[in-house]
Amino acid sequence: MPRTKVYEAVTERLEILDTEGGVDTALMPEIDPSRTRDLYRDMVLMRTFDTKALKLQRQGRMGTWPPIKGQEAIQAGVALAMGENDWLIPAFREHGIMVLRGVPLHLVFAYWAGDERGSSYPEEVRCFPVAVPVGSQWQHGTGVGLSLKLRDEDAVAVTFGGDGSTSEGDFHEAVNCAGVFGTKTVFVIQNNQWAISMPLHQQTAAETLAQKAHAYGIPGIQVDGNDVFAVYAAATEAIERTRRGDGPSLIEAVTYRLGDHTTADDASRYRPEDELEKWEGRDPILRLRRYLVEQGLWDEDQETVLLEEATSWVDAQVKTLEEMEPQAPEEIFTSMYAAMPPHVVEQMQSLLEEVQP
């Protein structure tokens, strides 16, 4: 009875754009220059509204906010690879790609400011609501991917989560079922290396998160998540694969949480300062700007104009947010059921009587 090797796997890592703005031309995906500039604009826009949200929070005009600073390349790169009819199933640190997929920024802000109406996305936007419980959204990604497969629809499901969420049982169940049913799902792990105070090496003994894909019988790849070209290339490959019916796959995008977990957290309590400085030097936006300048696609004037445009666009969204009528007290009841049961109607009426001026 021999003892034989029954399985062996290799996990690849993809990097295209270096920190100085140079690219590996052999691996560089085809993106026309105007698209590349759009990617940069998208990322700057994300940074601008993220910074604004933090400021609003400090001023008491925003609730708890989970910042996305440092993770812009993942969200811009995946968004560019997605097709118009594809579904996005986010966790809670995906405001950037949500906005790129059509969720109005003022609604994203409204949700985090504690307004129920922040979840009322326009009908045509194929985006699930924010999922706060950690890891639960992975399963919906599998379910939407199964739905698209069963209905033979020309669309795929792209679902996001963080490194911490891969420790939840839901992650295992979701990726396993996706493999079993061959769903049209792409799993994108934003590995920002910290789950509140827990560094990745305390989250898993595995060397990478990408290698977990092997255990479920689906392809997995690690990419430099601060390299928008690597993200775009890997996402395009994964989305095309599942779109043509070749099953789900997983992308681990390695990045870094440059901010706190949320505005309720203080990362200086547990995170080494030099680590933060190291990763600030790998800023995905800086890196893409260096590339654009190097290629003669970008200059100081364009930068100035972009920053002005981004700021005024974000300010306009804040204005829209703050001009919304205060939400009605009955908002807490009105979306609970298709048809409100009588006892809930009674409760709503009792509240309305109470708050009548």
Partner 1 sequence: MTGQNAEGRSLHAVPEVATEKLTIAQAVRDAMLEEMDANDRVIVLGEDVGVDGGVFRATEGLIERFGSERVIDTPLAESAIIGMSVGLAATGFRPIAEIQFMGFVYPAINQLFGHAARMRNRTRGRLNCPMVVRMPYGGGIHPPEHHSESYEALFLNTPGFKVVVPSNPYDAKGLLVSAIRDDDPVLFMEPKRIYRAFREAVPAESYTVPLGKADIAREGTDVTLIAWGAMVRVCLDASEVLAREDISAEVVDLRTLNPLDRETMIESVVKTGRAVVVHEAARTGGFGAEIVAQISEHALLQLQAPVQRVTGFDVVFPLAQNEKHYLPSRQRIVKAVEKTLEF
Q: Is 95 a catalytic residue?
A: no
Q: Is 257 a catalytic residue?
A: yes
Q: How far is the CB of 312 from partner 1 (least distance, A)?
A: 27
Burial of 29 (0-12, 13-18, 19+ CB in 10 A): middle
Is the CB of 106 or the CB of 287 nearer to partner 1?
A: 106
Work out the widest C-alpha separation in the chain, in whole angstroms: 85
Is the CB of 87 or the CB of 111 nearer to partner 1?
A: 111
Dihedral, 200, 39, 124, 62 alpha carbons, nearest 10? 60
Is the CB of 276 or the CB of 286 nearer to partner 1?
A: 276
Is the CB of 33 or the CB of 133 nearer to partner 1?
A: 133
Q: Which of 93, 241, 261, 287 is catalytic?
A: 261
Q: How far is the CB of 82 from partner 1 (least distance, A)?
A: 25
Say how far apart CA 40 and CA 53 lie, in whole Å: 20
Q: How far is the CB of 332 from partner 1 (least distance, A)?
A: 4
Report CA-CA distances (Å) from 192 to 35, 74, 218, 250, 252. Answer: 26, 11, 23, 16, 10
Beta strands in 118-173 (DSSP E): 157-162
Report CA-CA distances (Å) from 339 to 40, 64, 120, 334, 336. Answer: 46, 32, 18, 9, 8
How many CB atoms neighbour CB 59 within 10 A? 8
- By CB under 8 A, name the binding residues for partner 1: 63-64, 92, 111-116, 118, 130, 132-135, 164-165, 167-170, 195-198, 202-204, 262, 264-265, 269-270, 326-327, 329, 331-333, 336, 343-344, 347-348, 351, 354-355
Q: Is 270 a catalytic residue?
A: yes
Q: Which of 93, 101, 257, 282 is catalytic?
A: 257
Is the CB of 243 or the CB of 271 nearer to partner 1?
A: 271
121: Cα separation from own chain's centroid: 17
Catalytic residue set: 257, 261, 270
